Structure 1
Amino acid sequence: MSSILKSERKQLILDEIKEKQFLQLEEMVRLLDSSESTVRRDLDELELEGHLRRVHGGAEALTKLQAEESIQEKSIKNIQEKSEIAQKALSLIEDGDVVFIDAGTTTALLVDMLYQDNLTVVTDSIHHATKLVDKQFKTIIIGGFVKQSTDASIGRVAVEQIAQLNFDKAFIGMNGVDEHYLTTPDIEEAIIKKTIIENAQKAYVLLDSSKIGQVSFAKVERIEKVSLLTNHSDGALVNRIKEKTEVIEV
């Protein structure tokens, strides 16, 4: 193993995180030529010092309140986790349901998995709608201004259309959740998500581990209004969330 100093290891980690935004633990072990336990301790210290955020399988850069990754950037992160969450969401959909499927990378995986009979799907995503039509599902697409970074319809037209509809179940993506609120970087998208929740008999928020503990600019709704679907089932924060709302563990 390398005899590199702790201060040098930590600086190398910070440099890599700044450049790549996300690093897997195995990648850092190779980079530093150090043991996994040593790297974990370095990451724990850097998180306590407020330099990065620990996530399942590695670490990521701290995000600014209004920062938002593109669909392409999101699509390559936490693929296995997102797939497991989508699979669990799939099991909650029954034949004949009317469901809303929000724009997002985890919800995109859910769209790919759908097989139910006599299903009606409402979506605010052009890409979701195209897939749904190809799969011959009854599809309703919400209009409005399309936000390019997330592929979601936003604005007054979209809000008014969603408000006129009712859903058996809604499956929603989210940028962050703490023990009080669901949050997202964009005010207009927050209004869309809130309206979806208000018009669904049951609303499920799909969250991979990188979203737990994150806080974005705009509050969407209190966590009590939804059920959370996640594979991040341990830790003090998750336990506090469980005291307030349903957490379905994958």
Structure 2
Amino acid sequence: MVFTPVDIIIISLIFIWIGFVRTGLGFGGAVLGLPLLMLVGGSPIDWLPIIGIHLLFFSGIALARSLKIVDWGYLKQSLPWILPAKIIGVIGLISLPPTLMTVIVYLITSFYALTWIMNFQIASRRGWGSRLLLMLGGYISGTSLNGAPLLVAVYMQNIDLKRLRNTLFVLWFLLVTIKMGAFLMVDVYINWQFSLMLIPVAGLGHFVGLKVHDQIINNDIQFKRWIGSALIVICIVGLSKVIF
């Protein structure tokens, strides 16, 4: 992809936003950033390697001094349900046409946006309900990195709040490592230079998100309703561009 100076400014602002959401909420950088990036240009396969590199970098930094504040027990318990579905999703991302994957990302994002606007809680504490959400979240994470809300819905019900964000960072690190490994195996183009150039930009959002994490969590419903409304508009515009 070739970008104009205006495109690069817009992309930089989007990556500030992605970094802010990732640490402000503890998840959702890809969910809230990928639809915006696709409006600038390209398909999920163009942007996910860049988002993946950033997630590995920043989650690694966040975990460097926090590995003791991780619920390793529940992480090990949940991974057998997540990982097989994740691998199937990655295969779909690599093999399906870019246009179809773009539509899928917009539809998934629209679903999340509607749940946030209506304050509909996706939750299941135990049994097959939780396992289904873990598998579905793993699959969607494989196709687009947008499975976080489903996975978080289960993790929130089973992990102490003080350990939740760091446990999620470990999960994201594992899932993105699998995806990046698959990209390398099938020779997906990864623009390393552009990705590294955007790290300081995303770092600004990452830093601000760390500072306001508690305030966002305390106003979670209002924040998500506002974001959900904006996402619906973005998804309508994106789908219109693809379909028409």
TM-score by length of 2: 0.31
More helix by share: 2
TM-score by length of 1: 0.30
More strand by share: 1
Q: Which has the higher contact order (CA 8 A, sep 6+)?
A: 2
